[in-house]
Chains A and B, each alone.
Chain A
Amino acid sequence: MSTRLVSGGRLIDRTKPITFRFNGKRLKGHAGDTLASALLASDQMLVGRSFKYHRPRGIVASGAEEPNALVGLGEGARFEPNQRATTTELFEGLTAQSQNHWPSLDFDIGAVNTHFARFLTAGFYYKMFIHPRPLWKHVYEPFIRQSAGLGKAPDAETKDSDRYEHFYAFTDVLVIGGGVAGLQAALAAGRSGAKVMLIEQTAHLGGRAPVDGGTIDGQEPGAWVDQTLAALNAMPNVTIRARTMGAGIYDHGYVLGYERVADERPGTDGPRHRLWKIRAGRVITATGAIERPISFAGNDIPGVMLAGAVRDYVVNYGVSVGDRTVVVTNNDDAYRTAIVLAKAGLSVPCIIDARPLGGGALMEEAKALGIRVETGRGIAKVLGGKRVTGVVLCNMVGEGALVEEIACEAVAMSGGWSPVVHLWSHCGGKLTWDADQAAFRPDATRAPIGADGQANVLAAGAANGFGRLQNVLQDADVAGKMAAHALGFDAPKDAPPMGEDAAVKPLMPVWLMPQSAHYGLRMKAWLDYQNDVKVSDVQLAAREGYESVEHTKRYTTLGMATDQGKLSNINGLAILSDALGEPIPQVGTTTFRPPYTPISMGAIAGEARGEIFQPLRRTPMHGWHEAHGAEWEPVGHWRRPYCFPKAGEDKHAAVAREINATRQSIGMLDASTLGKIIVKGPDAGKFLDMLYTNMMSTLAPGKCRYGLMCNENGFLSDDGVVARIDEDTFLCHTTTGGADRIHAHMEDWLQCEWWDWKVYTANVTEQFAQIAVVGPNARKVLEKLGGMDVSKEALPFMTWADGTLGGIKARVYRISFSGELSYEIAVPANQGLALWEALIDAGAEFGITPYGTEALHVMRAEKGFIMIGDETDGTVIPQDLGLGWAISKKKADYLGKRAQERTHMTDPNRWQLVGLETVDGSVLPDGALAYASGKNANGQRNTQGRVTSTYHSPTLGRGIAMGLVLNGPDRMGEVLHFTNTEGEPIAAKIVSPVFYDPEGEKQNV
């Protein structure tokens, strides 16, 4: 059984007991424990079930690479699935649940999958899904839905109760990883005078060295770590942040850091996680190495663990994973585990070394401790179900014939160490195959490149492929000095500290144990624990013709789980290369992608949630609308009133009331969101002639003209009224939300094409509030406010004038988007509310009615006015919309003119704008298509038109619509057949798009 030892555990505080719950069971641990160490201390060997076969699984590792020990952590608003027990710091009251089992962890029905394992081989899903559709619906889909997904999603209605934030940091040198390599690199760069930031994903700095032993400058590594940390903390140019993972490296030295600020203190003030956006001149990846499992049958039974992890649990947490532990290895490092176990008084029945001659000094030390060493041997299979009961010893060479059964509770395995090259690879760093260590390591000659064309990422220490302490320290020292030097800092010429540890014999690559394991063993030899991929699956994929590692990955799902194959990558690759008969470097690796380990959605969102998810733009009258019960509609970054329902009134009734009041007496609209761009300069007219399809240079000062803008593809992009202010100055109105885009469009052409034209532009949208006063009584209300002549003679239709209204300086435009007598009044933004309220007061006797966007839309549709985004969709040209009158025939050029001459644009069969009137008076569905006879090449019904705008018109008491129809304008009176979403036919007659006041008499009074 796994248990807490009576002494030891450098990271735990035995005076501080902690109580936590696992699957409802009350368990005890100590401050400093991880959830994993505390579970092991409580003999909780079984922590979850595997994804596909629901096999019992235990803790394998002690850090970020853990594939099995994923739990649902917390409850309610703090519940989070798939949290790694090995990186979860224990705290009082922690609750965790195991995943992937039903009904319970100990008794799981899904485990029957394991008996069908021979049918669930690689590519199972791909092979099954080509079967008939009914099987899909009734057999496969329910099965997949039942078994898909790792862990349980948090309740959709429960909001995360924690706070998250984003931080920005700028540094010369960023060191990722706080082991001895990271510390030495930071020290070297810091002493050069560079600004240094060091981040470490765990709560402790120093990494593996204090566990692995040896000496640095004659001291225990732990003592050197303390001393170096003190030196770094004393340097004002060095910042150290623990619990902060380097999640990804991106272009030009941009790095994402993920800080778990308060995971171990839930509910405390401040954020839970912090996302760091770091820009560094040079990045040093001192990310260490990850131990590889060995592929032998039963290597997933709880109790089979990485040798380094077994050592970590003893040294760091005073936890024994079993009284008797068999060590199996292909290298010297695992002997350290045997030695640690023996020195802790635990039994090591045997060290099984695959190498014919075994190891070096560490082997001798183990032997001297009385430990039996079997060289040239392997494990044929592990015995046990929910925990290890023993191993079958065999010869390494052969199919796995039994030599001897050895009883044990745990197996510590080591297949060698792979440098953590993930971050190096994120931004294009290439790898080289190191045959001696049987691992990929960073190729410094093909490093990620910065803006200056120089390598901007340097790998250091174990992450750079170094194993011996002395080499690690030396490499890190060089990396730190080089990084600082590249940024112009003079590195001191001091020597790195002296590291000493045991000399080692070479590793022997072992990708399958025993070498010629028969099928029965290979289909129990796991590569990817989290996705349940076995040696036999990868071999099958190779036999079926999957030669590319990227394809094999997707076919078998090897390395596609949340751990991204941290343990399985190299082993799987080696099996594939063996099956293909190609060397490993030729087969290559799959792509490493950020984040290094999963980061929380909360951290990504940061503060951007709820009301501040997106900043809201408010017009000066926003508060008034809110106080008067506006129903909001999001438009661009604004909220505009959709309508103003009165008590007991629904939206439909409110819109009808607003329209009727406006058409019969007077309404008013907050039009402040309309874009307003000033275009000024001697060449302003010439410039606008290029931007608009119609002629603007001939517009007289004091007059207004409706204009259309197209892009160079000829498609309609924006519309609005242009007012000429004086000889040099125009004011261009754009659609709501279009101002920024159109202003950028203007600047693009001015700066990049016609840079010698003398024109300035300014987006003054928010400098002015604008109010439309609309209806037959509009003039009377303005005259009541007084201050300027707004008569037909003084201010005719499509003109503007400056003056004052009710004492407020105003510019009044006689323009109409409703077909009524209409004034649009622009005032300085800070006067907007005052004018709005003055109009409300002055108009009271006429029943002045504020209206919203829906009334605006209906009234414009009644008049047949187009709306950008309704009648246009990026494929519509003005000619389609009957707007030929707004296209100048005289101009030699305007943006879009050449494109509108292309054959497709002049095709007489382009759909064109018409009005549509349902035969029964109902409202056509938006976007509905008109049938035509026959079918197209895809067997779909042919169409001959579609609805672009559709409303109930209270003015006409019926449904009205606009649409684009094949040869529409020539087919007046013809009845088309549309369909609603239920597929029922609706008949509609083609009519003129101008439903109301076709002569325009009402607006021109």
Chain B
Amino acid sequence: MLIFECPYCGVMAEETELTAGGEAHVKRFGPGSSDEDFETYLFHRENPKGVHFERWRHANGCGKWFLAARCTNTLEVFGTYPAQTTRPPEPILEAIRAKRPGFQWRDLA
């Protein structure tokens, strides 16, 4: 039963208020893309033991999707941020780097 702060309405939301949406920052590949790119888009996920970026929806609340940076191992939450971005905001990355030197996630470091 995780708790996340919804970055839209500010509620500290219990997991039962949320629905999980898998990995964040997945780039969509549509018609015209190569088989490799499309396969990556549909099926390849980081699934790390460690820092991860995830999609959550405040479904039983304000209804907004947001993104969270969380350690899948210790359950530490480094921050949440609105979903309208292709890259985690710098303050979130800084918070992670401070606690996890050498952290890497896809092309983020």
Interface centre among A428, A449, A451, A892 (most CB of B within 10 A): A451
Q: A728: CB under 8 A from chain B?
A: no
Q: Determine whether the beta carbon of A428 is less than 8 Å from that of B31.
A: no
> CB-defined interface of A224-254 with B at 8 Å, one 1/0 digit per residue?
0000000000000000000000000011101
**Interface: B19 (CB within 8 A):** yes
Tell me if A788 counts as interface (CB < 8 A to partner B).
no
Chain B residues within an 8 Å CB radius of A254? 1
Contact with A along B58-74 (1 / 0, CB 8 A): 01000111000001001
CB neighbours (8 Å) of B65 from chain A are 747-748, 751-752
Q: How many residues of B contact A (CB 8 A)?
A: 32
Residues of A within 8 A of B38 (CB): 898-899, 902
- Cβ contacts under 8 Å, A747 to chain B: 57, 63, 65
Chain A CB within 8 A of B14 CB: yes
Cα distance A251–B72 in the bound complex, in angstroms? 11
Q: Is the CB of B55 within 8 A of A752?
A: yes
Check A103 for interface membership: any CB of B closer than 8 A. Answer: no
Task: Kindly state whether residue B94 has any CB partner on chain A within 8 Å.
Answer: no
Interface range, A side? 20 to 34
| Of A449, A451, A897, the contact of B3 (CB 8 Å cutoff) | A451
Q: For B74, give its contact among A279, A449, A753, A898 (CB under 8 Å).
A: A449
A899, B77: Cα distance in complex, Å: 35
Q: Do residues B31 and A898 form an inter-chain contact, with CB atoms below 8 A?
A: yes
Report the minimum CB–CB distance from A748 to chain B (whole Å): 6
Do A748 and B30 touch (CB < 8 A)?
no
Q: Tell me the residues in window 420-452 of chain A with beta carbons closer than 8 Å to chain B beta carbons.
A: 428, 449-452
In the bound complex, how far is the Cα of B28 from the Cα of A251, in angstroms?
32
**Which residues of B have CB within 8 Å of A893?**
30-31
Tell me the complex Cα distance, A971–B59, Å. 48
In the docked arrangement, what's the CA distance between A260 and B37, Å?
A: 57
Contact A751 B1 (CB under 8 A): no
Known A751-B84, A752-B65, A898-B29: A251·B57 in contact at CB below 8 Å:
no
Q: Are A252 and B74 in contact (CB under 8 A)?
A: no
Complex alpha-carbon distance, A747 and B35, angstroms: 27
B42's partner among A753, A897, A899 (CB-CB below 8 A) is A899
In the assembly, what is the distance between CA of A893 and CA of B83, in Å?
Answer: 23
- On chain A, the residues within 8 Å of B59 by CB distance are 744
A226 to B10, CA, bound (A): 44
Residues of A within 8 A of B108 (CB): none
Q: Contact between A252 and B2 (Cβ–Cβ < 8 Å)?
A: yes
Within 8 A of B (CB), among A740-782: 744, 747-748, 751-753, 755
CB <8 Å contact, A449 and B75 = yes
Interface pair A753/B19, CB less than 8 Å apart = no
B49 contacts partner chain A, Cβ-Cβ < 8 Å: no
> Given that A451-B2, A752-B55 are known contacts, is A252 also in contact with B75, CB under 8 Å in the complex?
yes
- B31 adjacent to A751 (CB under 8 Å): no
Q: Closest Cβ of chain A: how far from B54's Cβ, in Å?
A: 12
A997 within 8 A of B: no
A898-B33 contact given A753-B28, A755-B84, CB 8 Å threshold = yes
Max chain A Cβ within 10 angstroms of own Cβ: one of B42, B57, B75 = B75
Within the complex, the shortest CB–CB distance from B5 to chain A, in Å, comes to: 9
Chain A, 324-342, CB within 8 A of any chain B CB: none
Least distance between B68 CB and chain A CB atoms (Å)? 10
**B21 in contact (CB, < 8 A):** yes
Q: Which residue of A lies closest to B16 (CB)?
A: A277
Give the docked Cα–Cα distance between A753 and B29 (Å). Answer: 12
A860-897 residues at the B interface, CB under 8 angstroms: 892-893, 897
Which residues of B come within 8 Å of A, CB atoms? Answer: 1-4, 14-15, 19, 21, 28-33, 35, 38, 41-42, 55, 57, 59, 63-65, 71, 74-77, 83-84, 99
Q: List 18 A-B contacts (CB under 8 A).
A: A251-B1, A251-B75, A252-B1, A451-B2, A452-B76, A452-B77, A453-B77, A712-B41, A713-B42, A744-B57, A751-B84, A752-B65, A752-B83, A753-B28, A755-B84, A898-B29, A898-B32, A899-B42
Given A251-B15, A453-B77, 10 other A-B residues pairs in contact with their CB atoms under 8 A: A428-B74, A451-B75, A452-B76, A712-B28, A751-B64, A752-B21, A892-B31, A893-B30, A897-B31, A898-B32
